[in-house]
Structure 1
Amino acid sequence: MQYRRFGKTNLRLSVFSLGTMRYLADVENAQQTIAQALALGINHLETARGYGKSEEYLGQAIKSGLLKSRSQFYITTKIPPTANADSMRRCIWESLERLNLDYLDCLGIHGLNTWEHLEWVQAKNGCMAAVQEAVADGRVRHVGFSTHGSLEVIQAAINTDFFEFVNLHYYYFFQRNAPAIQLATEKDMGIFIISPADKGGRLYTPPQSLKDLCQPFSPLELNYRFLLNDSRITTLSVGPANPNELIEPLQVANSDIELTPTEISVFERLENHQKTILGTDKCSQCYACLPCPENINIPEVLRLRNLAVAYDMTNYGKYRYGMFENAGHWFGGMKANRCTECGDCLPRCPENLDIPALLEDTHERLNGKAGRRLWG
């Protein structure tokens, strides 16, 4: 296992962190998963107030002595932004109590996704007042935020200079947040990548066509290598449902060398294949089409279409597309069938895409069962 400096926190974290959203079958399974993670060299465990009984199960593991030396592991929990300090004070105490801890190594503002959330963070008696109190009295060592928001919101949150780390989405198949990665690096912030296996493309169950294109590697392995090759990134979340699901991801835990010529050639193959298959229908994700009068997240809709058409990532596309209109600020935007063909986006598209037609096609391909967040 490799370890990297988590930005200005100066914590040395394992390049994989145990995300605890999915180990919740029962407390025994949770403890077995934690024990396996520790045995494999993971020293950072990340939970959240909103992850069902995750804090409680982790707290029981701590109380049982499973995590023996407090100085040898790090705990992060996350609490949603609140409009006032009193709510945050209560949440911090409750999380510490559930976790059986005197202090948190890291506290993340969970889901700083909207401009309103940012206003709460910046308000004089908003949630950060309580967080800063907890830092002052030692109950919290380091403060950061997690986000599913727009690039603009993420950059604005980073520029508040309130935070020492950021948890965000960034993968081979989603590179929109690259400027936020760079800005966070310039601020010497730790960078934690959220769910690269699942949100990064459901790469633990890839379609055969994608597997063929990625040979001699697996799609999941390539995504991990894309991320670990980037020295700006500290750690990647791995969220197993049981101990066995830790084995495959951690096979690349020591692979932080530069990309090999073979790996580079596979990435080039993927790019060339996408260009060939999509042709003039390829959306390059410039975001010039926004804002949409109907609040359709046009670039994200067309990104999912790109992946479905080019790589047969239809199941992933349906999974993410089903979140529109069902996950609130965690996955904002309306479905593509809300398009009124107003034409507002057309003159702004540098590729002259027939956006209304592509939106209709995407809805036909990907509309299915409504999705929701695991803990909503």
Structure 2
Amino acid sequence: MRYRRFGKTHLKLSVFSLGTMRCLASASMFEKTLLGAIEQGINHLETAHNYGQSEQYLGNILKKNLPIPREQLYITTKLPPTLDKEQMRCLLEQSLHKLQLDYIDCVAIHGINTWEHLAPFAAQTGGFLALKKAQEEGKICHIGFSTHGDLELILAAINTDLFEFVNLHYYYFFQRHQEAIALAAQKDMGIFIISPADKGGGLYNPPPTLSQLCQPFSPLELNYRFLLSDPRITTLSVGPSNPEELIEPLKVADQDYPLTEAEMAVMERLEAHLHQTLNTDLCRQCYQCLPCPEEINIPEVLRLRNLAVAYEMTDFGQYRYRMFKNAGHWFPGQKADSCTHCGQCLPRCPEQLNIPELLFDTHQRLNGPLRRRLWE
């Protein structure tokens, strides 16, 4: 296991962090998974107020004889972006009580996903004041934020200079947030990548075409190496539901060197296949088609189409697409069948794509039963 400095927090975190959202089947399974992670060198544990009984389970384990002292474990919990100072104070006290801790190493605002979420923190009012007071009292060591928001919002949140770390989406198959990674690194913030196996492409169960294109590596391994090779990134979330699911990710826990020629050759092969397969239907993710009057997240819809057509990542595309209209600010946007063929996006597209036609095709490929976020 390698360890990296978590930006200006100066914490030395393992390059893989244990996310606890999925290991909630039982208290005993939670404990087995957590202890398995610690024994393999993971020293950063992430939970959240909204993750069911996760904080309670974790607190009970922290009171036992752990393989390493509590001082060598770093705990992050996440609290909702409440606007009210007293409510934020109460939420923090609840987390401290459940975790059975006198202090929490890192507290992240859980989901600065909209400008309304950011406003009171940027203005340093309400809930932010409660966190700063708790930090002064020694109940919190470091304050950061997680986000599922768009790039402009993330950049604005980073530019407030109020946060010491950020948890965000960034993967080989989703590099939209490159600018946010660069800005956070410039400001010496800790950078924590959320869910690289699941949100990064459903890479635990890759389709045959993608697996073949990635040979001699697995798609999961290649994505991890893409991230670990970037020295700006501190740590990656791994979210096992049992100890066995730690095995595959941690095979690369010591491989944080630059990309090899063989790895770069595979990535070039993936890029060439994407262009050859999509040809004139390839959405290059410039985002110039937005805003859409029907609130369709056109670039994300067409990104899912890109992956489904080029790499047969249809299961992943369906998983994500079905969350539209049902996940609120965590995954905003209407489904593609909301398109009215108004044509406003067409002159803005530098590739001259027939966007309404591609939206309809995506809906036909990926629509199905609605999906909710796991912890909801």
Query: Which bin holds the TM-score, normalised by the shorter protein?
Result: over 0.9
Instruction: Indicate conservation of the 8 Å contact 2:122/2:157, yes or no.
Output: no
Equivalent position amino acid for 1:105 in 2: D
Equivalent position amino acid for 1:231 in 2: P
Distance of 1:227 and 1:251 partners within structure 2: 14
SS of the aligned residue for 2:196 comes to coil
Equivalent position amino acid for 1:3 in 2: Y
Distance of 2:28 and 2:280 partners within structure 1: 53
Equivalent position amino acid for 1:134 in 2: A
Equivalent position amino acid for 1:222 in 2: L
SS of the aligned residue for 1:247 comes to helix
Q: What is the match of residue 311 of structure 2?
A: 311
Check if 1:240 corresponds to 2:228: no
SS of the aligned residue for 2:112 comes to coil
Instruction: Indicate conservation of the 8 Å contact 2:62/2:70, yes or no.
Output: no
Q: What is the match of residue 2 of structure 1?
A: 2
Q: What is the match of residue 102 of structure 1?
A: 102
Equivalent position amino acid for 2:54 in 1: S
SS of the aligned residue for 2:37 comes to helix
**TM-superposed deviation, 1:249:** 0.3
Q: How does 1:69-84 map to 2 (within 5 A)?
A: 69-84=69-84
Q: What is the match of residue 363 of structure 1?
A: 363
Distance of 1:194 and 1:284 partners within structure 2: 23
Check if 1:287 corresponds to 2:278: no
Instruction: Indicate conservation of the 8 Å contact 1:84/1:120, yes or no.
Output: no
Distance of 1:370 and 1:64 partners within structure 2: 41
Instruction: Indicate conservation of the 8 Å contact 2:44/2:75, yes or no.
Output: yes
Instruction: Indicate conservation of the 8 Å contact 2:103/2:140, yes or no.
Output: yes
**TM-superposed deviation, 1:68:** 4.5
Deviations 1:40-83 (CA, angstroms, capped at 9, x unpaired): 00000000001111111101111223364122110000001011
**TM-superposed deviation, 1:124:** 4.8
Q: How does 1:205-244 map to 2 (within 5 A)?
A: 205-244=205-244
Change (3 A) 1:353 1:215: same
**TM-superposed deviation, 1:84:** 1.1
Deviations 1:211-268 (CA, angstroms, capped at 9, x unpaired): 0000000000000000000000000000000011001100000001111111110000
Deviations 1:158-210 (CA, angstroms, capped at 9, x unpaired): 01111000000000000001100000001100000000000000000000110
Q: How does 1:10-25 map to 2 (within 5 A)?
A: 10-25=10-25
Distance of 1:158 and 1:323 partners within structure 2: 27
Q: How does 1:258-337 map to 2 (within 5 A)?
A: 258-337=258-337
Distance of 2:16 and 2:267 partners within structure 1: 23
Gaps of 5+ in 2: none
Distance of 1:287 and 1:355 partners within structure 2: 12
Deviations 1:294-353 (CA, angstroms, capped at 9, x unpaired): 000000000000000000000000000001000000000000000000000000000000
Distance of 2:64 and 2:14 partners within structure 1: 23
CA RMSD of aligned residues (A): 0.8
Q: What is the match of residue 28 of structure 2?
A: 28
SS of the aligned residue for 2:251 comes to helix
Instruction: Indicate conservation of the 8 Å contact 1:81/1:120, yes or no.
Output: no
SS of the aligned residue for 1:216 comes to coil
Distance of 1:3 and 1:175 partners within structure 2: 24
After TM superposition, what 4+ stretches of structure 1 lie above 4 angstroms from structure 2? none
Deviations 1:132-170 (CA, angstroms, capped at 9, x unpaired): 001000000000000000001100000111100000000
After TM superposition, the structure 1 stretch with the greater mean CA deviation from structure 2, 129-138 or 60-69, is 60-69
Distance of 1:163 and 1:184 partners within structure 2: 10
Distance of 2:25 and 2:147 partners within structure 1: 26
Length, aligned pairs only: 376
Distance of 1:67 and 1:178 partners within structure 2: 37
Distance of 1:72 and 1:307 partners within structure 2: 41
Q: What is the match of residue 350 of structure 1?
A: 350
Equivalent position amino acid for 1:167 in 2: N
Distance of 2:65 and 2:99 partners within structure 1: 13
Equivalent position amino acid for 1:211 in 2: S
Identity %: 66
Report the TM-score when normalising by structure 1: 0.99
Distance of 1:245 and 1:303 partners within structure 2: 28
**TM-superposed deviation, 1:121:** 1.6
Equivalent position amino acid for 1:232 in 2: R
Instruction: Indicate conservation of the 8 Å contact 2:21/2:51, yes or no.
Output: yes
Instruction: Indicate conservation of the 8 Å contact 1:67/1:73, yes or no.
Output: no
Distance of 2:65 and 2:142 partners within structure 1: 24
Instruction: Indicate conservation of the 8 Å contact 1:167/1:194, yes or no.
Output: yes
SS of the aligned residue for 2:119 comes to helix
**TM-superposed deviation, 1:120:** 2.4
Report the TM-score when normalising by structure 2: 0.99
**TM-superposed deviation, 1:375:** 1.4
Distance of 1:327 and 1:250 partners within structure 2: 31
